[in-house]
Amino acid sequence: MASGNSPRGLFRSQKKYIREPSGRSRKKQGVDTEFVDVVAFRHAHNVAFQKSDLFFICMLRPLSSAIKIDETEIQAAKWMPLEEFVKQPFIQEDHMFQKIMDICIQRLRKCYCGLTAHNVVSKFDGRQSTLYYNVGEPEDVNCDAA
């Protein structure tokens, strides 16, 4: 899916949560999706509003093909072949987005596994949290979600 770029957005630092990627996809393009894994992420200091920035690239599995855009959020959206998407100037002119596309293509080919969510409990607070990491044992690798 593309409308010149991919779903993304800022959140206010006062908020205690970040909307999950599938919720953002539903809001912007009206497509229900299922979270698969975090493929990669980028961190930079002093970006917007002189704050640190985390940019997560997530793999989502569409649960529908119908697109119902929120016209207050975006102008247009459409499904397009991957080859057409990666040839857009927005991707071609940005080294980071070229690398992101390379990683995503390798993920689709099952040549790269993203960061898989694992529930863990820390003795520091006794609460369950999610730790994202790649696994080293072949029997633990789940790259079937394409």
This prediction has a pTM of: 0.67
What pLDDT, on a 0 to 100 scale, did the predictor assign at position 15? 43
Read off the amino acid at residue 66: A
Asked whether residue 100 is domain-assigned, the answer is: yes
Q: Cβ neighbours of residue 132 under 8 Å, at least 6 residues apart?
A: 37, 38, 115, 116, 117, 118
Asked whether residue 107 is domain-assigned, the answer is: yes
10-residue stretch averages of pLDDT, the chain, 146 residues long = 47 46 66 86 84 86 87 86 94 92 89 82 86 65 54
Asked whether residue 90 is domain-assigned, the answer is: yes
Q: Please report the sign of the dihedral spanned by the C-alpha atoms of residue 25, residue 64, residue 114, residue 100.
A: negative
CA dihedral of residues 11, 102, 34, 119 (deg, nearest 10): -80
What pLDDT, on a 0 to 100 scale, did the predictor assign at position 11? 52
CA dihedral of residues 109, 113, 115, 116 (deg, nearest 10): 100
Expressed as residue numbers, the domain containing 71 is: 23-114
Asked whether residue 80 is domain-assigned, the answer is: yes
CA 83 to chain centre: 19
What pLDDT, on a 0 to 100 scale, did the predictor assign at position 54? 84
What pLDDT, on a 0 to 100 scale, did the predictor assign at position 25? 66
Number of structural domains in the chain: 1
Closest to 116 in 3D by CA, of 137, 141, 144, 138: 141
Asked whether residue 124 is domain-assigned, the answer is: no
Closest to 59 in 3D by CA, of 28, 36, 27, 34: 36
CATH number at residue 43: 3.90.79.10
Read off the amino acid at residue 112: Y
Asked whether residue 145 is domain-assigned, the answer is: no
Asked whether residue 15 is domain-assigned, the answer is: no
Asked whether residue 109 is domain-assigned, the answer is: yes
